[in-house]
Amino acid sequence: MKHSSTRELFSYWNQQRGERPAPERGDIDPIAIRHALGDIFMLAVDFVDEQRFRLAGTRVCALFCRELKGEPFSALWNKASRQPIQDLLAIIAEDSTGAVAGVSGRAADGAIVDLELLLLPLAHQGHARIRALGVLAAADVPYWIGQNPVQELELGSVRHVSRELERVDFPRRTLTPDGGRLRRGFMVYQGGRVPPANEKAG
């Protein structure tokens, strides 16, 4: 976890859940995480079981130059990332485990911003709709943020995180991208670096 908001929220979420798999919405006090609030969002499930923004911090909204409340979370992602992000949300909800990922945001003119994504589950009872808490933050904020909206997000590497922030294997029921296969918790792709003519392949 590279961004200060990511570390702050994960630490607080971990503290509030105690020995439970995940804390409830009522356990989250915004004042306790006030320094990270601009990068934080909450997701709620609607009547067709799609997770939408219940709220989003000012810096999250500034990435897209609009208020995100009510928008589907999956709609922010490019075509290749949309199904994996939906699968990731389902795994987080079912297994009560957090995930941190590298994300690229692309503006209409091709400008790129590197982001860090944190997704954490929230326990719910009855008809409670809020399901997840997260961070979407840029390590280095480019000058154009707030003026040139990010048009789409692309999901990069994903790590599931345990209570001690250790890496854990991605669940095997997750869909593998085209051309990849799971081997002992790692994604393996065919191919690789082509050695120069004067270098022997090992």
State the pLDDT at residue 54. 93
Model confidence, pTM = 0.79
- pLDDT tens readout for residues 2-32: 899 999 999 999 999 998 999 998 999 999 9
**Measured between alpha carbons, how far is 89 from 32 in angstroms, rounded to an integer?**
25
- pLDDT tens readout for residues 28-70: 999 999 999 999 999 998 766 789 999 999 999 999 999 999 9
In order of start, what are the domains of the chain with their CATH numbers?
Answer: 4-167 (3.30.450.20)
**Could you report how far apart the first and last alpha carbons of the chain are, in Å?**
34
**Measured between alpha carbons, how far is 1 from 5 in angstroms, rounded to an integer?**
9
- Residue in the block written with tokens 């719910």: 124
State the pLDDT at residue 58. 97
Q: Are 144 and 99 in contact (CB under 8 A)?
A: no
